[in-house]
Chains A and B, each alone.
Chain A
């Protein structure tokens, strides 16, 4: 079962400004595919630095958006990248790819529910 976004935490990040939260979500939705591609590139080229940096970005934004349940997987990838190797990262990257759609769905639903 997928975790739920903690909307109270997400709103605290933006001082309760739903308009701003919607903008942050839109930005994340716009860049998430690129971030996933960067992780794939990092795996293919065994680029631990890129893996570390991209997973760090994923984790940070997920935490800002109250998506703590998803950020644990990103943190695990970040930790692997920090070792200077991508060994063992494939399984975790696949887990992240499996988990992401449910987060993106919740974020999209929230975003669509907010008036402009």
Chain B
């Protein structure tokens, strides 16, 4: 059973997050009210994942993240961000946080994010040492509009990514999250026309549109094309969809906020990958991540 440490200064938030997690999947949740208490918990029993708020008394979330990165680099850290914490959260993502969940979208995003990361850390299908011997891989997929296929292909690429020298294991998971974000955008905002990042509907509305359209023309005929080229020097993913694209001039990576109404996917891509470029029509994105120096 997975062991998750929730760090938040507010008792009500600790109760909420623990409840959402234990309602959705089998896990053991421990809580701490600040960074110092969290480090004591980690020392006593190493968690599979740390979920932390940013604003806390004493040692705050950013300091906690840095301590964990120094002392326990293999533990994934997910930030919970509130409105008004976007700048700190952006710094935390650059400092190596695995992912983030806006507090306003906790009910929608928390468990899927945690499940993905736990699954990635437990990935033992192919012996890791074999992938360390891989020199080059080039794969092309034409995916149907099935979220399960996205999860499967991300798991596959995350496994292949073991051949790319990265700072640590957490980076491999982060790249998987960025790839998943790009593929989900291609599915929902591209193929299913459920609204682009700058006019994104609620997740409930998005899922409703998806249910209405997945087996209707023209949506059902569209495919998500993924080309994944991974070597010991870099990983390059090209993802295209059959949608009409969007105005990419509205995307400014310099001002990407981590708590914008839509755009969590874009934020993940920009903060995790070395390069993110769109084609002129906005229905193809290329993500590049280079090997660690």
Q: Mark A residues whose CB is within 8 Å of B.
A: 12-15, 17, 20, 23-28, 30-31, 52-53, 56-57, 59-61, 63-65, 78, 82
If A20-B19, A23-B19, A78-B84 touch, whether A60 touches B11 (CB-CB below 8 Å) is no
Q: Number of B residues contacting the other chain (C-beta, 8 Å)?
A: 21
Contact of A60 among B13, B20, B23, B56 (CB under 8 A): B13
Contact A20 B11 (CB under 8 A): no
How far is A12 from B104 in the complex, measured between Cα atoms in Å? 11
Question: Does A24 contact B107, Cβ atoms closer than 8 Å?
Answer: no
Q: What's the nearest-Cβ distance from chain A to residue B18, in Å?
A: 9
List of A residues within 8 angstroms of B11 by Cβ? 27-28, 30-31
Q: 10 A–B contact pairs at CB < 8 A?
A: A14-B107, A15-B20, A15-B107, A31-B12, A53-B57, A56-B82, A60-B13, A64-B12, A64-B16, A65-B12
Residues 53-85 of chain B: 1 if any A CB is under 8 Å from the residue's CB, otherwise 0?
001110000000000000000000000001011
A17 with B16, Cβ < 8 A, contacts A31-B10, A57-B10 known? no
With a CB–CB cut-off of 8 A, which chain A residues contact B260? Answer: none
Bound CA span A57–B53, Å: 10
> B15 interface residue, CB < 8 Å from A?
yes
Residues of A within 8 A of B15 (CB): 20, 23-24, 26-27
Q: Which residues of B contact A82 (CB under 8 A)?
A: 84
Q: Is the interface of A mostly helix, strand, loop or mixed?
A: helix
Q: Across the interface, do A27 and B12 meet the contact criterion of CB distance under 8 Å? A: yes
Ordered nearest first, which 6 A-B pairs have the shortest CB separation?
A20-B19, A28-B12, A27-B12, A27-B15, A27-B11, A61-B12
Additional pairs, 13, CB under 8 Å, beyond known A17-B23, A27-B11? A15-B107, A20-B16, A20-B20, A24-B16, A25-B12, A27-B15, A28-B12, A53-B9, A60-B10, A61-B10, A63-B104, A64-B103, A64-B106
